[in-house]
Structure 1
Amino acid sequence: MAVVLQANNREDLTKSKTKEVRLAGGVPAVIYGYNVQPKTVAVDSIELLKTVRDEGKNAIISLKVDGETFQVMLHEYQIDPLKDELVHADFYVVNMSEEMDVEVPLVLEGEAKGVKEGGVLQQPLYELGVRAKPNDIPEQITVDISELEVGDSILVSDLKDGKNYEILEDEATTIVTILVPDKEPVEETEEAEEQAEPEVMNEKESEE
């Protein structure tokens, strides 16, 4: 079920009015996409951030604007790097009956046996491309790594396609691997230095 978010029409697009919207805690935004003419609106910044945090970046949002409801996804947003505040958002109206391609977060679950034995976990892939209808897009894809030993890997081919979505990534792509720990030859270095010292001392004695 889509989460509901309230928006207000924004007809005055002057800089002064836009600044006023932001000072009031709003975010200037645009609605565009499937079967709709672009509309300029404003949404509450805190409510939008809360929605993305709680529901994920691929959440379907029922955006209500003056009696109309649009099924949208947050397509893009801009943040002021100095103030760390949202300054603009783009909402894309989706066709609920049509499949779309999105990136879904990959979340590792459990602690690998290999890590407990000193192995190093490496995760080259953090998001997975999938194709699904909007309501079937998973919030995240969980990968259980608890049985991985040192030297083991999980590839995209090891994942089972969900009933309602198709995985788009190359099957040979590595998701996670447990590397053999680096051996630090500290003791060998110290032994080499100890062996080298008498030679240097003997050389000095011969010079004398």
Structure 2
Amino acid sequence: MATVLKAAPRKESKGSTLTSIRKEGGIPAVVYGKEYGNLPIQIEAIDFIKTYRNEGKTGVFSLDIEGEKTDVMIYDIQYDMIKNQYIHIDFYAANMKVEMDADVPVNVVSEAQGVKDGGVLQQGVFELSVRALPKELPDSIDVDVESLEIGDSIFVKDLKSGARFEFNNDPDEMVVSIVPPTEEPEEEPAEEEEGDEPELVAGEEEEGGTENEEKTEE
């Protein structure tokens, strides 16, 4: 059964109205698309979180606006880290028969042999642009680095694109690399400069003070 997220039209976009929606457990949102243009809506936060967990950012699901269902994808998410609250969601009404571009997160899988040997993994990109029909877009691009030794790299051209999607990035763009560990230079002990007098220890200071006192008394 396809995921369905219910929504309601939203007429006002005043700051006070948007704040009120959030306080009541909703999220202000908008739907973009040829059929809708730019349609303001609101959704329930709990329902959106469930949908987002199930479908991810590139998943296609059904948005139910007062009984009218449309296939959509999440286009943009605004989230307030301080308030731990979703601020606004943009949905894109996708044409299921037309290919589209989307940024898909890169997921590094396993631990590289080079890292076990002391190397450091450097990730060149955290997202890759892919082109596919909306329902063929992957949730993530898994990059297995287990066999990489120190000095090895994986480029976009090394990734096996799915049979139903292709990469838009430069084929020679580096995705991950295992580099040698950085060695910190050893600090040389500081040399004493000529002319510097050694510091007197407490005992020496006391003895010197006693001699001076005796000479004064004489």
**TM range, normalised to the smaller chain?**
0.7 to 0.9
Matches within 5 A, 1:1-208: 2-13=2-13, 15-80=15-80, 82-186=82-186, 189-190=187-188, 193=189, 197=191, 200=192, 203=194
Change (3 A) 1:158 1:20: same
Change (3 A) 1:110 1:82: closer
- Name the CA distance, whole Å, in 1 between partners of 2:146 and 2:14: 56
CA contact (8 A) 1:61 1:72 kept: yes
Q: Which region of structure 1 is more displaced relative to structure 2, 167-176 or 23-32? A: 23-32
Identity of aligned residues (%): 43
- Name the CA distance, whole Å, in 1 between partners of 2:146 and 2:10: 51
The residue type equivalent to 1:71 in the other structure is D
Instruction: Work out which of the two has the higher radius of gyration on C-alpha atoms and give 1 or 2.
Output: 2
After superposition, give the CA deviation of every residue in 1:82-110 in whole Å (9 maximum; x if it has no partner).
Answer: 42322222211010000001111111111
Q: Which region of structure 1 is more displaced relative to structure 2, 28-37 or 96-105? A: 28-37
After superposition, give the CA deviation of every residue in 1:167-208 in whole Å (9 maximum; x if it has no partner).
Answer: 11101100000001112332xx44xx3xx74xx58x559xxx
- Name the CA distance, whole Å, in 1 between partners of 2:9 and 2:158: 47
The residue type equivalent to 1:174 in the other structure is M
CA contact (8 A) 1:58 1:74 kept: yes
The CA deviation at 1:12 is 4.8
The CA deviation at 1:60 is 1.1
1:160 alignment partner, SS class: coil
The CA deviation at 1:118 is 0.2
Change (3 A) 1:113 1:80: closer
The residue type equivalent to 1:78 in the other structure is Q
The CA deviation at 1:81 is 5.3
RMSD: 2.2
Aligned residues: 196
TM-score under structure 1 normalisation? 0.84
